[in-house]
Structure 1
Amino acid sequence: MDLTAGAPVRYHSASGRWVLLATVLGSSLAFIDSTVVNIALPEIGRDLGSDAAGLQWTVNGYALSLASLILLGGSLGDRYGRKRVFLLGVTWFALASLLCGLAQNVEMLIAARVLQGIGGALLTPGALAILEASFAAEDRSRAIGAWSGLGGIGGALGPFLGGWLVEVGDWRYIFLINVPLAAIVLWVGAKHLPESRNPEAARTFDVTGVLTGAAGLAGLTYGFTAWPANGPGDPVVLISLAIGLGSMIAFVLAEQRSPHPMLPMRVFRNKAFSGANLVTFLVYAANGGVFFLFVVNLQVVSGFTPLASGIALLPTTALMLVLSARAGALSQRTGPRILMTVGPLICAVALVLMSRIGSDATYWADVLPAVLVFGLGLSTLVAPLTATALGALEDAYAGIASGVNNAVARAAGLLAVAVLPLAAGLGSGNLTDAAQLAPVYRNTMMICAGLMVAGAVLAFLLVPKRLPAKAPARSFCDPCAPPVQPRETASSAP
C-alpha cells in the first residue's frame, strides 16, 4: 500500500480504487442476500419440505439478527478497528453461507440465516465507516457516491444471478457462491484496506446497551415483520412492539448513564447528524413502499411478466451508477443542503407519475419516464445524504455513525412495508387481486410522495449549507500505534 500511518486515501489513486472495490463487494454480499433468497423460496420449500412459516423465517431470521445487531457492529469497529471487524464480518458471513448451502432441513437453514445476519451486522456499517475514515475529506462524498452507484449494480444483478443459479443448478448455489466472493473480499481487504479506529473508545463492553439495543431493534423488527400477516391487533405483534419500544427507551436511558456507552447520546446534539437521519427515515420509508409495491403492481394490475417487472427499475440503477459519484462531488463543492432538498422533490414528482401506472400502462409511455425521473432524484439525493450522516461527526465516530444510519434506513423500510398498505386502505384485502391492489398502490405512491416532500423540508431546515471543518483525524492506520492527536476534551466531542 502507498499509505503511511494516518495518510488519507485519494479517490483517483490505486489505493482508493482498491478500498472502493473491497467495500463495495463486501457490503454487496449482505445487501444482495437480503433479497435474492426470495427467488429460491419455492425451490427451498419443495426440497426441504417446509411449510409457509418455515420459509417466512428463512427470510425474517436474517433480517432480524442483522437489524438487531447493526449498531453493535458499528460500535465494535470504532473500538477494535474497522478493517478488523469488517473482515471478521466477511469471514463470518462466508462460513454462515456455507452452512446455509449445506442445510439438511429448514430448521438448520433458519439457524444458518440468523448467523448470516450477524455477519452482515458486522460488515455492513464497517464498509461505509472505512470509506469515511480512509478517504481524504475532499474525496469522501465522491467515494460514497461511487459506492452507492456500484452497490446499486450489485442489488440489480443479484436477483438475476439468483434466478439463473436456481434455474440451471440448485437453490444451494445462491449461498455457496458467497464463499468465493467473500474470499476475494478478504484477499483485497487484507492487502489494501487501511486500519482505523477511535482511540478514545473504551475497550470494555457496554453490556446493558448491547442487550437493550438488540432487544429493542429485534422487538420492533419482529413486530413490524409479523404485522402484515397477523394484523395489528395480534398479541404477538403487540407484545413484540411493546418489548421493542420499552427496550429502546431503556437503551436511551442506559446510554445516557453509562460511562462508556455503545452509542454516545451526545452525537444527536449535532444538528446535521440528527437532521440527516430524520431525512433518511422519511426517504427510506418512501423507498420501502415503492420497492415493495411497484413491481407487484406491474404484474398484478398492468399485466407485465415477472421478468419485465424485474428489469423495469434497471434505468434507475444505471442512472445511479453514472451520476452518484458526480452528485457526491457536486455536494462537496456546493454543500449538502441544496441536493438533499432538490433530490427528494424530484423523487416526489416521480412517485406522482408512478401513481398513474394502471391497467392500461405501457413501459415506454408510462413506466420508463417515471423510472428515469426517480433515478435522477435518487442519484441527486443518496450520496449527499449518506455523506452528511457520516461526515457530520468526527472521524472517530465513523463506525457508530454508519451503524445508526443503517439502522434508521432498515427500520424505515420495515415500517413502510407493514404500515403503508394499511394506511393506503388495503385493510384485509389481497395484494394479488388487481381490483383491490390498484387503489392501494395509487394511494401508497401519493403517501410516499408526501414523505419525500417532508424529507425535502427537513433537509432544508436542519441540514447546514456546509458541514463544519473537522479537526485532524484521531483515527489512525495502525491500531497499535499511539493516537496522532492528544485526547479530546469533553467540549470537543460532537
Structure 2
Amino acid sequence: MSTSPPLTVESARMGSGAAGMLTVLCGAIFLEGVDAAMLNIALPSIRAELGLTTTMLSAVVSAYVLAYAGLMLLGGRVADMYGKRKVFLTALTVFLLFSGFGGFATEGWMLLAARFVTGAAAAFMTPAGLALINGNFPEGPQRNRAVLIYAGTASAGFSLGLVIGGLLSAIGWRWVFFAPVIFSAILLLAGMKLILEKKEDAAQRQKFDIAGAVTLTGAMLLAAYTLTRMEHAANDLTWTIAAAGASMVLWFAFALIERKSRAPLIRLGIFRSAVLVQSNLGAMLFTGAFFGFQFVVSLYLQELLGWSSFETSLALIVIGMDAILAPLLTPLLVERFGNGRVVLGGFAFAIAGYALFLGMGLDWTYAAMLPSMVLLGLAFSLGYGPLTIIATEGIAEDEQGLASGLVNTSFQFGAALGLSAVSAVGTLALGDGDSPSERLEALRTALMVPVGATLIGMVIMGFGRGRCADASCRLQAG
C-alpha cells in the first residue's frame, strides 16, 4: 500500500518556480520524442535529395538509437556525479548544435554523425531531466503528478512528431533538423534561469571510474548494435553474433571492475531492489510491444491499404490522448489504487488493443481500428508514467540519475528489441509469399509478438503484487 499522503489540491500544487522548471524539462523530453519521430517521416525526401543507399538510410536511423540506448546509463551516472543541471544544459546545447549540423548535411556521413551525436546528447539529457524532477519535487503526490506530466509529454512528443514531421517534410526535409534548433534554443535560455538544483543535493565531483566507463559504454553500444541488426541477422549473422559475444564479454569485465572499484561507476547493489528489476523488465516489454505494433500497423496501412505516411501518422495520433489523461486522470487512480495496480490496468488495456487488431482485414475501415487506438491511448496513460515512478521511487538522491538512466535504457532497448522481433517473425511467416492475403497473414503472425510480450510483462509486474504493488515495499539495496 502506498505511503504517500492523500492527494489534495494543496498537496499536489506546485509553486511557480517548480512549474517553470517542469515546463522546461517537459519541453526537452517533448523535443526528444518529436525529433526521433520526425526523421522517420522525412526519410523518403532525404533519400531523394542526397541519393542515399538503403543501407546508409538505415544507418542514419540506427545511429540515433545506438547512441541513445548505448550511452543512457553512462549519462545518468555522470549526472549523479557532476551535477544534473550542468549535465542537462550541456547536453541540450550539444543537441542544438548537432541538430543544426544535420540540417546542413550534403552527404550521408554528415547525417550519420549528426544523428549519432544528437542521440548521445539525448542519452545524457533525458536521465538528467528525470533525475531533476525526482530531486526537486518531494516524494508523494507532487512528484507523482510531475512525473506523470513528464511521461505524458514524452509520449505526446512521439505521437505528434509523426504529424509534425509530415508537415515539415512538405516544406523541406531540412526543417526536420532546423525546427528542433529553434525550440531547443528557447528551452536552453529558459532552462538557464528556471532549472535549479538544491545545494544539499548537488553532485560532488568524485574520482571517475574510467575503466568502468569504457567497458560500460562498449558493452551498451555493442548490445544496442546487436538489437538494431537482429532483423538483418540472416544476411549478416557473423557480425551479429560477434557483436553479441563481445558485448557479453564487456559486461562480464564491467561487473568485475565495479566489484573491485573504490568509486564504482554503478553500484551493483542497486540491482538487489526487486521492484527496480521488475519495473525495468516491465518497461522493456511494454515499450517493445508498442513499437512492434506500430511497425505492423505502418506496413498494414501503407502497403496493404495504400494509405500515405501522413494518413498513417494521423491514424496513430489518437494514442497521444495520454498527454491529456496522464496528468489529469492517472494521479487520481495512482492515489486510489497504487502505482502497481494502475500499471497492471495499463498492460490489460494494451493486450486488449493488440488482440483486437488481430482481426485486421483488407477491407477494414478506420472505424474498425479506432477501438485499438483508444485502448492503447488508455494503456499508455496508465502504464508509462507509473512504471517510471516505480522504477525511480525510493532510490537515494545520489543514484537518481542512474535509476532514471536504467528505466530509460529499458524503454529504448525494448523499442529496438520489439522492432527487430516483429520484423523477424513477419519475414519468417511470409516466406516466399507475396500476395496481399499472404502478407496480411504474416502481419497477423507478427502481431502476436506484441500480444505475447505484453502478456509476459503483465505477469512480471503482477508477480508478488500483494507485497510489491508499490515502491514502498522496495528491498533495501544498501
Pair 1:241 & 2:235 matched: no
- SS of structure 1 residue aligned to 2:286: helix
* 1:257–1:10 distance in 2 versus 1, CA, 3 Å: farther
Contact 2:390 2:470 in 1 (8 A): no
Q: Percent identity?
A: 26
Measure, in 2, the Cα distance between the counterparts of 1:51 and 1:424. Answer: 23
**Aligned pairs, how many?**
464
Matched, 1:61 2:63: yes
Q: Which moved more, 1:172-181 or 1:241-250?
A: 241-250
For 2:434 and 2:413, the matched residues in 1 are separated by: 25
Alignment of 1:38-57 (within 5 A): 38-57=40-59
Number of the residue aligned with 2:135? 133
What is the match of residue 334 of structure 1? Answer: 337
Match of 1:345 in 2: 348
The 3-state SS of whatever aligns with 1:262 is coil
**Cα distance change, pair 26–355 in 1 and its aligned pair in 2 (3 A):** same
Q: Distance in 1 between the 2:15 and 2:118 partners?
A: 33
Q: Aligned in 2, Cα 1:188/1:443: closer, same or farther, shift over 3 Å? A: same
Q: Pick which of 90-99 and 389-398 moved more.
A: 389-398
Choose which of 26, 36, 39 in structure 2 pairs with 1:37: 39
Following superposition, the deviation at residue 400 of structure 1 comes to 0.5
Deviation of residue 372 (structure 1)? 0.9
The answer to whether structure 1 residue 467 and structure 2 residue 471 are counterparts is yes
Does structure 1 residue 161 correspond to structure 2 residue 175? no
**In the aligned structure 1, how far is the partner of 2:470 from the partner of 2:230?**
41
Structure 1 residue 104, shift from structure 2 partner: 2.7
Distance in structure 2 (CA, Å) of the matches to 1:165 and 1:171: 7
Contact 2:296 2:443 (8 Å CA) reproduced: yes
Could you say which residue in structure 2 is the equivalent of 1:455?
Answer: 457
- Whichever residue aligns with residue 169 of structure 2, its letter is V
CA displacement at 1:202 relative to structure 2: 6.0
How much does 1:303 deviate? 4.0
Matches within 5 A, 1:90-489: 90-138=92-140, 139-168=142-171, 170-196=172-198, 203-231=206-234, 234-364=237-367, 366-423=368-425, 426=428, 429=431, 434-462=436-464, 464-468=468-472
Name the TM-score, length of structure 2 as normaliser.
Answer: 0.90
- Cα distance change of structure 1 residues 444 and 114 upon mapping to structure 2, 3 Å threshold: same
> How big is each residue's C-alpha offset from its partner over 1:93-143, in whole Å with a ceiling of 9 and x where there is no partner?
001112111223221221222221221111111121111111121211111
User: 1:79/1:322 Cα in 2 relative to 1: closer, same or farther (>3 Å)?
Assistant: same
Quick one: distance in 2 between partners of 1:457 and 1:492? Answer: 23
- Alignment match, 2:6: none
Contact 2:41-2:309 at 8 Å conserved across structures: no
Match of 1:479 in 2: none
Pairing partner for 1:28 from 7, 27, 30:
30
Offset at 1:343?
A: 1.6
* Bigger fraction of residues in helix: 2
Are the structure 2 counterparts of residues 210 and 433 from structure 1 closer, same or farther at C-alpha, using a change threshold of 3 Å?
A: farther
Equivalent AA in structure 1 for residue 457 of structure 2: G
Return closer, same or farther for 1:339/1:358 CA change in 2, 3 Å cut-off: same
| Corresponding residue for residue 474 of structure 1 | none
Query: CA shift at 1:493, angstroms?
Result: 5.7
Q: Cα 1:257–1:21, aligned 2, differ >3 Å: closer, same or farther? A: same
**How far off is 1:22 after superposition?**
0.7
C-alpha RMSD over aligned residues: 2.5
CA contact (8 A) 1:10 1:16 kept: no
Deviations 1:241-267 (A, max 9, x none): 222222223223322322222221111
Structure 1 residues 448 and 109: CA distance shift in structure 2, 3 A: closer
Deviation at 1:468, TM superposition (A): 2.6
